[in-house]
Structure formats: C-alpha cells, structure tokens
Amino acid sequence: MINAKNITVIPATINPMTHLPKMAVQLRRAAAYARVSTDSEEQLTSYEAQVDYYTKYIHSRSDWEFVDVYTDEGISATNTKKRDGFNRMVQDALNGKIDLIVTKSVSRFARNTVDSLTTVRKLKDAGVEVYFEKENIWTLDSKGELLITIMSSLAQEESRSISENVTWGQRKRFADGKVSIPYGQFLGYRKGADGLPEIVPEQAEIVRFIYRMCIEGMSTNAIAKHLTQQGIPTPAGKQVWQRATVESILRNEKYKGAALLQKKFTVDFLQKKMKVNEGEVPQYYVEHSHAAIIDPEEWEKVQLELARRKRSTRRTQCNSPFAGKIICGDCGEIFGSKVWHSNSKYRQVIWRCNAKYEAGKHCSTPHLYEDDLKQHFITALSQLLTDRTVLLEDGRLIRSELLDYTAIDAECASILQEMDMVAGMIRQMVNENATQAQSQAAYTDQYNSLVERFENLQTRYDTLQQQKERRQIQADAIGNCLTALEEVDLLDITFSEALWTAAVNHVTVYSNDTIVFHFKSGNNISVVN
C-alpha cells in the first residue's frame, strides 16, 4: 500500500517584479511626470499645478521616497524623441534611481501606442512600475498592459482627430486667403493690431537693400558677406548671414504683398514630418494679401535675374565681386582667386585662369594682381566716360529699343489665336471619331498632324516669351549701369564694388597682356596690363 503524498508549500519570498523580499519594508523611490502640449498661459497654469500636486502627493505617502518631478513644456506627446524631461526620467529609471513613476493619465504619458507600450515594457523589465492616476492603472498588475493598450489606442485616435481638425482649420484659413507669417524669423514684418502683417520700417529698408544689391548684380554670397560686415543681424538674430538666407528673402513672394499658402504639409501626425508640397495637397495663391515692401515689378525682375544666374555656366561660390566675371581669352574658362604670402605682410590676391595647369590646356594668359585689376577698371571707365552725355543718350536709346515688345507681342497674340483654333479642330475631331464610323488610320494621321502643329506653336510662343525675359534682363542691366555711370564723379573716379558690379558685364584677358572690359552699356574698352 502506497502512503499518501505529503506536500509542503514553500511560499515565495521575492516579488518577481520588484525583486525585493516580500516581507521587507522598504521605501519605493517615486518620481512624477508632468507635461503640457502648448506653452499658452492656460496650459502653463495647468503645468505648474501638476508639478505642485505631484510633489505634495509623493511626499504625503509614507511608503514612498520623493525623487523628482520630470517635466516637458510645450511639447506634444505623439513622439518621445524630443521630450527631454521624459527621456531623462526613463533613463534614470533604467539606471536604478526610480522604482515608481506617477503620471496624470495615459494621454499625458504618450499619445503614440507603440511608444507608450515600448516604454512601459522596458520599464517593467527593469522592475519599474508606472501608475496612471486618472485610469487607476498600475503597470505591474496583471491587467495593466491590456488596459494600457486600450487606453493608448484611444489616446492615439484622439491625437489623430485633433490633428485632422487642426489641418482642416488651417486649410480653411488658406482657402479664405488668411495669411500667417512666422514673425519671429521673418525680416520686415510684425503682427499688426488687426492680425495682418504690418511693415517694420527699419527692417523693410534692409529687405529693399538686399533686393537692390541683387538687381545691381551682386551675388547672394557677396550680399551675405556685406550684411555680415555691416553688423546687420539675420532674421533669426544671428550675426553671420548665409547665402541661403539671402536667397530665401529674394525668392519670397510675401515681400511683394502676395502669399503662396501651404508650401509644406504634415505627412504623418505621429512623427510630425513635414514635406514640400509637390502637388499632393492644394495650394492657394493670394494676391494683395498685405502691404508690400518690394514693388511687384521689381520682385519679378529679381526672379528673372536669379533664373538667369541659375542658367549661367559661369557659376561660383566666391564672395568677391570679380568672381565669374574674368574670362580667359585662350580657353574661355573663368579666372579664380589665389592668395600669395597669406601669412606675411607681402600678402597678395591674384587672379588666374582656373584651367591654366590642367592636363591638355596651354593657356598663356597672365595672372592679374587684384590691385592692378582695380586700377585697369578705373582707366577703362575714364575712357568710357570721355563723352558721358552721348554715352547716356545712346544707352537710353538701346534700352528703349530692347523694351519695345510690339512685334513680339503681336506675334504672340497671333500664335495664341492659332493655337486656340487648332485646339478646337482637335476637339472636333475627337468628338466626330467618338460618334461616327471612320478610318482610324486616317484619323490618327490627321490627329498627330494637328498635335504636332499645336506643339510647334507652343514652342515658338515659349521662345518669344524667353526673348522678352532676356531683353528685360538686358534692359535692366543697362538701366542700372547708366544710373551708376551718371553718378560717377569725373574729377575723382575711384573703385567701388557697387560701381564695378553695376557697370561691368565681364572682362576678357588675352595672352598679349590686353584686357577688354565689356560694359553693360554695350561698350568695350581695351587696356594694356
């Protein structure tokens, strides 16, 4: 006969979650987490109240030891990457400094289900519990994770709903033509009493100066360097200007009193990723939306000038006014600057052909000292201004002829009329083919012939419009040149970057020491090096 088994239960003495003896009396090191998603006055009051509440709450528990209240102000909970206070708290918990984290609710902790569960599980593995006061969830409880999953999903959907409502509101504002500007980093405007952009006079002068320098021929690099040297702060309040900052000011349509809305849009409400709008969502162009700092015609001239520079093969990143303007008469390459004896009192800046020592090149053009180049410019300018009155009259006549678009406009009007007629013929053909039986081979031949005719007309029209643009750019260059030449003191001609930029189109250097200055007025003057 087998005796009955005698089984003795040995109770667990270690808590599997906290790894502490079950009977041990030990204070739990408790911390709290407080967050508000905006920095409005109302939210900041809520934030301060949370900090005060949880400080007192933890101190009131005799079984808890206060560690800290970790905080984030004005930060959304949809992503944990930029929440410094939250990330610091989690790291301290994983480092064994915290046993318990107390927070107001699941939505305060995170509105992203994945982030919320990942963080909770990471803390759980380290024996750290999170207590969500509003939902009364303790994460080390067996039902904790299920409840967190449900609550986090609800919070995430709430965040999605809020994001969609905000997006709808923004697009409704765009459709109504309501303009908003990031005033803190936007030069020239501030928010007016009526909520519309209001011009800041002293900043507007800087914007006009930037546009004027561009029209006079200065590169965006040179403009940035000049503004930095003048001690003018950037829109963000920095001391050093960058080329990209200058270019963004020159290309921004808001300076002519218009606004292109929804240039970017949010791709993912969780990650807050922004993308340049390339047609995925509607854009809205609002004319006369606010007071203009730059005349629309002047703004358009700048866009044409920037487009011309982009097409130019002589592009350079150098800040010097001579960059890209000195051409080798042997091979056609541009001259680049070199510094001789840079660390001594004999320091010299010279210019020479960039391809002079390339394999297969045999340029014999000389290098030019920068000081000599300035003197040669003064000599050429003196010759040019021998009879300034005649020069100015001839220049104005040339400019007037360039701006006479009568023939071009007449041809464009004729082309548009013919294009409209051809488009009508194509539509009629398509309709007839859809309702009447006919030879498809003949139909295809006639259709392709009409389409080719239409495309040829379109090409010719585009060519004429480009001619107008080039003539406008040339006329503007001549006009700026004549204005600069008219102001020159004939008794004391001196070099200045502004005068050089406004007057000189380019300079060609030949191997026989001849230097030809090609002025924007259309005149060419030769000097000997």
| Residue-level pLDDT at 276 | 66
| Residue-level pLDDT at 226 | 84
Query: Up-side HSE of residue 31: CA atoms within 13 Å toward CB?
Result: 22
Cα 341 to Cα 238: distance, rounded to the nearest angstrom: 33
| Residue-level pLDDT at 78 | 47
B/e letters for 194-209, b = 16+ CB within 10 Å, e = fewer, are eeebeebeebbebbbe
| Residue-level pLDDT at 476 | 83
Hey, which residues does 102 pair with through a beta bridge?
32, 131
Cα 407 to Cα 398: distance, rounded to the nearest angstrom: 16
| Residue-level pLDDT at 10 | 66
Cα 141 to Cα 17: distance, rounded to the nearest angstrom: 10
Closest CA to 326 of 302, 356, 301: 356
Whole-angstrom distance between the N-terminal and C-terminal Cα of the chain? Answer: 127
| Residue-level pLDDT at 77 | 44
Cα 259 to Cα 45: distance, rounded to the nearest angstrom: 36
Q: Tokens in use for 462?
A: 């585009």
Cα 336 to Cα 322: distance, rounded to the nearest angstrom: 9
Strands 129-132, 100-103: parallel, antiparallel or unpaired by DSSP?
parallel
B/e letters for 293-312, b = 16+ CB within 10 Å, e = fewer, are bbeeebbebbebbeeeeeee
Q: What domains are defined for the chain?
A: 28-167 (3.40.50.1390), 183-311 (3.90.1750.20), 314-529 (no CATH)
Strands 284-286, 259-261: parallel, antiparallel or unpaired by DSSP?
antiparallel
Q: Sign (positive/negative) of CA torsion 256, 261, 266, 272?
A: positive
φ, ψ of residue 322 to 5 degrees: the values are -85, -15
The tens place of each residue's pLDDT in the chain, 529 residues long, gives 556 666 766 666 555 544 555 544 578 899 999 877 644 444 445 677 888 888 999 999 888 999 999 988 755 544 455 678 888 999 999 999 999 999 888 777 765 666 777 788 888 888 899 898 887 888 887 676 666 666 556 655 655 665 555 555 555 554 555 566 777 778 888 888 877 788 898 999 999 989 888 877 678 888 888 889 888 989 888 889 998 899 889 988 888 888 776 655 555 544 456 666 655 556 666 777 788 888 888 888 888 878 777 765 555 555 678 888 899 998 888 888 888 877 777 788 889 888 887 766 678 899 898 889 999 999 999 999 999 999 999 999 999 999 999 999 999 999 999 999 999 999 888 888 888 888 888 888 999 999 999 999 999 998 898 888 888 888 888 888 898 899 999 888 999 888 898 899 899 999 998 999 999 998 999 999 8
Cα 66 to Cα 27: distance, rounded to the nearest angstrom: 10
Q: How many C-beta atoms lie closer than 10 Å to residue 282's C-beta?
A: 12
Residue with tokens 């046993």: 99
C-alpha to C-alpha distances, 448 to 290, 425, 427, 439, nearest whole angstrom? 48, 12, 13, 14
